[in-house]
Amino acid sequence: MARKRRIAILTAGGDCAGLNAVIRAVVRTAENVHGWEVWGVENGMEGFLQPRDEGLRRLTRDDVAGVLTQGGTILGASNRCDIFAVKRNGRAPRDESERVLKTFKRKGIDALICVGGDGTMGAAHRLLEMGVPVVGVPKTIDNDVRGTDRSFGFDTCIGVVGDAIGRLYTTAESHHRVMLVEVMGRDAGWIGLHGGLAGGAEAILIPELPYDPDRLAHKIHARIGYGKRFSVVVVSEGANRPGVDPTFRREQADRLGGVSFLVAEELRRRTVLEVRHMVLGHMQRGGMPSPYDRVLASRLGQHAVTLIAEGAFGQMAALKGERMASVAMETAARGPRKVPKRGPLVAQAREMGITFAAADGSDDPYADARRRYGAP
């Protein structure tokens, strides 16, 4: 009797809403359609490095029953394990990728599904070059994975950001304050842009458009001039000024964060209103996935199994418009997909009166419209 085909799945990088939906879809599709076994690799790539294969466990339909609406990941995640440069006990980084290959072969695994962002896709592509049959699934709340129109986790994140801004809006209006809301996103401003639009912010600072604090203060003073003695400003964690490096956390030199503190100080010197700031932080990652993210994550998981069945290794499942597609993982590994400076969403936000306080002078909210319609 032929041995059942075995596939494995891991969730690497930071957690986000929808990971369990992917795992569930992979298990159900593999069992229902192909009769395959599915093994879960715990805590990202770290699961391959555990002694006696303790980091791998069998997953069945019973294991994924009821997980569709759960946040986080039943397999655990890790954004600190680079199998090509593992750091242990303060010693120099060591390449332990060969251990992954040995575990892979010892367990008789035929293919691997890596769920993660651009860093995970880069590591997965290197494993592919070493002979591991691997496919990818894009995951990030930042929505910045190249090759896909949308990553699951983003929609849930925007719901959290929009709700938080809506709650702060009433406080800002009641107390005549400028409220700064710092959101995640690393070097891409998708969360700031969508979250700001969803929450009704008057200004949005994103990494792609370095800001000028004087222009931001001008917007706030203009609102005061027509009776609006409050403002809500969304600040992406990667927001920066021309010639000034992005702000990193003091306790974690490799992690962005804290730029809203800097912007608050800049505004206090330039406005007459009280300025407050808050960092949403990891609230944006957690909780129950939105219905949209559950559907998208399920579709991507199912499509990943289909790619394995077709032998399309080295590919990442992707959303193109409304249909499932695939792109080379190498494409996804080329770094973050950023907000186009002159993209439609930026232009539409400007025409609605939202400022990006852009230091390059491109922030005239009506310039694009005048060019389009030939108005003076």
Annotated catalytic sites, by residue? 142
Distance of alpha carbon 364 from alpha carbon 78, whole angstroms: 43
Q: Helix, strand, or coil here: 48?
A: helix
Residues 6 or more apart in contact with residue 330 via CB below 8 angstroms: 121, 125, 314
Q: Which residue has the tokens 């005549």?
A: 176
Token pair recorded at residue 43: 């805590």
Asked if 83 contacts 91 with a C-beta cutoff of 8 angstroms, the reply is: no
Residues 6 or more apart in contact with residue 324 via CB below 8 angstroms: 299, 300, 303, 317, 318
Which DSSP string corresponds to 292-359?
HHHHHHHHHHHHHHHHHHTT-TTEEEEEETTEEEEEEHHHHTT-PPPPPTT-HHHHHHHHTT-B--BT
Asked if 81 contacts 50 with a C-beta cutoff of 8 angstroms, the reply is: no
Token pair recorded at residue 21: 């939906």
Distance of alpha carbon 116 from alpha carbon 138, whole angstroms: 5
Taking alpha carbons only, the member of 266, 275, 256, 268 closest to residue 212 is 266
CA–CA distances in Å: residue 337 to residues 208, 245, 323, 340: 11, 20, 20, 9
Taking alpha carbons only, the member of 226, 284, 232 closest to residue 260 is 232
Token pair recorded at residue 307: 């790619």
Distance of alpha carbon 13 from alpha carbon 15, whole angstroms: 7
